[in-house]
Chain A
């Protein structure tokens, strides 16, 4: 079904190949060229949007591994991103360590914090875990806001530009390359992880954790591993966000943002590699188009109540989450699959 007509697999390697045919390769390379050529044809504003999309994508990929593959619901993802952002801010600003140390450190510290709050997942699941992660979100943000000697508190903290050796990522386009290189690596990693023993174990845990345990999967290990990887990616995303924005305070990481992350992977499609990409692009673009372009335009041309600007975005996104869950719980990725198989078989119905 995933292959064009007439293409058959004769070896295991062929079967496992992500890019199977020449057309796949051509399309893929074309896509990469188009992606990494973006600074040439995108204006500064849209490049900024693209950077935000890239950062969000890294975090959403991590969340998808945790929620979509391993089935451990986390509603504190923005909190873990905040841990990463502040770790790199403290490392590079206060301790004056190089950027790469800050980046990796952000991932590791966020991963460890994720582990700590993930420990209850070994005994509980579903709603209990959701509540634990909400609690984690509030505790993390509270610590950030009040540990002012280290984090800068409510005032915030300055973050220097990212730099590797003499290379300083100052302009929007240089940061674009940094962010999207990491985003592509993360997506590739997630895609491959899902096909290994670990990924299969995650899926088994998601579908029925008791049955998985009976089959010999170490629940403690795999659930915490999922938390670590998911939060590691959140930390990396947070670090990139911090270096990109240049100034951090806790307002970037509200509970609403966490809910939005969940919304993104639901709209994109849980448990697929394509899902987070589609979800993130759709949600972030909608957000930009709605809040920056459409809402001011509508407000000028129509007599709207003053709450329209702040209220319409959450309303639409909330509605989108609800409608997707009711009408298409497998998300946009599934729709894309349907479309692909339809055009492959066209003009025959099956």
Chain B
């Protein structure tokens, strides 16, 4: 029982982080139909940047975190302006593979600036465990879940009520109509990339404050794809619901399946889920089924 509760809390927390990162993907996909395969690398880069600010440059948190957000905004803007903008209206194959190029480039940058492969961020949350119903639950996980929920809440309010958010949703719905209304679509693309990078950075900082910064963060980004696939590519709600599902499947499966199979089964569960979803319900739980016409 105590074991189960631990799996549940850690799974939930990790799942919320996946959901956050996945949200970054959905943002870009909805507004510009670009599949961003560099998600994991964005998470990696922003975590290392946080490390650079907080540990190497020794900035206090109140200065370091805003700088990380600024950095993420700038990163998103640069990627959109100089890489994706020239490729507008190109075939989908180019749009996907160019993000692979970005991923490769970012990996190079990371190992260029931070050649040591492992580092620890300073603890952001109190580590004292909480005893609850006979189980020991790490407080960090609860904090991560809480902060992810807050970010979700803020984003939801933004999309619902802010002028920019409404414009972004409109762009997702119909680009032509939006352009006819006088909303500059390229600005929307740019903003969605900036938001996506910030969300990825928040996810990266949250997860690396617990597990440290390793190359495994790239896999975190890749696992976020299973959230996207399960929830549906164009659904925020899908990401929020599928995130915890994947996180729970991963931690419960890792906990209870490892004795039955091989070690490390935890890391492979999201990918198996991807394959299963692809075979049964390729557009995910909440994704819009696209009916194509010639």
Chain A interface (Cβ < 8 Å from any Cβ of B): 67, 71, 73, 75, 117, 119-120, 123-124, 126-128, 130-132, 134-136, 138-139, 142, 145-147, 208, 210-211, 214, 256, 259-260, 262-263, 266, 270, 305-308, 310-322, 325-326, 329
Contact = CB atoms under 8 A, between A and B. Distances in A.
Contacts of A124: 278, 282
B105 A314 contact: yes
Given A314-B107, A318-B104, A307 B35 contact: no
Can you list the 4 inter-chain pairs with the closest CB atoms, starting with the nearest?
Answer: A311-B112, A318-B105, A315-B108, A321-B101
Given A313-B108, A326-B83, A326-B87, 4 more contacts: A127-B92, A132-B274, A135-B271, A305-B115
Contacts of B233: 127
Interface residues of B, number: 50
A139 B114 contact: no
B149 to A, nearest CB: 26
A134 B225 contact: yes
Contacts of A317: 104, 108
A112 to B, nearest CB: 16
Given A138-B268, A259-B104, A307 B114 contact: yes
Contact of A256 (B107, B226, B262): B107
Interface in B217-249: 219, 222, 225-226, 229, 233
26 contacts: A73-B93, A117-B275, A120-B275, A120-B279, A123-B278, A127-B35, A134-B37, A134-B222, A134-B271, A138-B222, A138-B267, A139-B272, A145-B264, A210-B293, A259-B103, A262-B100, A263-B104, A307-B113, A308-B112, A311-B109, A314-B108, A315-B112, A318-B108, A319-B105, A322-B101, A326-B83
A144 B86 CA distance: 41
Nearest to B273: A135
Interface in B70-123: 83, 86-87, 90, 92-94, 96-98, 100-115
A337 B235 CA distance: 45
Which applies to chain B's interface (DSSP): helix, strand, loop or mixed?
helix
Interface in B264-294: 264, 267-268, 271-272, 274-275, 278-279, 282, 292-294
A210 B294 contact: yes
Contacts of B112: 305, 307-308, 310-312, 315
Interface centre among A147, A214, A318, by most B CB within 10 Å? A318
A71 B233 CA distance: 21
Contacts of A139: 268, 271-272, 275
Contacts of B57: none
B263 interface: yes
A313 B109 CA distance: 10
B197 to A, nearest CB: 17
Contact of A147 (B97, B114, B262): B262
Nearest to A210: B294
A138 B90 CA distance: 29
A321 B267 CA distance: 29
A131 B229 contact: yes
Nearest to B225: A131
Contact of B111 (A71, A135, A260, A310): A310
B109 A329 contact: no
Contacts of A263: 100-101, 104
B35 to A, nearest CB: 4
B108 A329 contact: no
